Amino acid sequence: MPHFETNHVVKHTAEQMFDLVADVERYPEFLPLCEGLSVRSQRERDGKVLLLADMTVGYKAIRETFTTQVLLKKAELMIDVNYIEGPFKYLDNLWRFEPVSDSQSIVHFCIDYEFKSRLLGALMGSMFDRAFGMFSEAFEKRADVIYGS
């Protein structure tokens, strides 16, 4: 049951970082292992946006696609990702964006997951762990490109 959690101070506002992470269709442009992402559906209610999205991840000859439900809570500066189907037993992911100043914020990223297959877990598990470690850095670099450093 791998678990990864990080709290990272960035030189961008919490709102900017929320918007960046919420723009899921751009992930293949900069996110490690992400080879494709498509949004199946999008609904808005009470100021929250609910996405159903398919993400394809790959490493060498291995490709897997999984479906998640992504709840964007802009007023709370929070993104809650719940697993629907694919190669995992479960996957829970939470993003929180905490303002620090007018130009800085803390990005809280937490993910828990387990593969259904022990073989797939053995093949991709350590690579996923490394990739999650690079996620915060990838989003921060992307923010620097979009918003300036």
Residue pLDDT, tens place only, 76-116: 999 999 999 998 899 999 999 999 999 999 999 999 988 88
What span, in angstroms and rounded, lies between the C-alpha atoms of 23 and 15?
12
Q: Which domain holds residue 38?
A: 3-147
Q: Model pTM greater than 0.75?
A: yes
CATH for 115: 3.30.530.20
What span, in angstroms and rounded, lies between the C-alpha atoms of 69 and 85?
10
Number of domains in the chain: 1
Question: Would you say 135 and 31 are in contact if contact means Cβ atoms under 8 Å apart?
Answer: yes
Residue pLDDT, tens place only, 51-70: 999 999 887 787 889 999 99
User: Any residues with CB less than 8 A from the CB of 38 and at least 6 apart, and which?
Assistant: 25, 53, 54
What span, in angstroms and rounded, lies between the C-alpha atoms of 47 and 24?
18
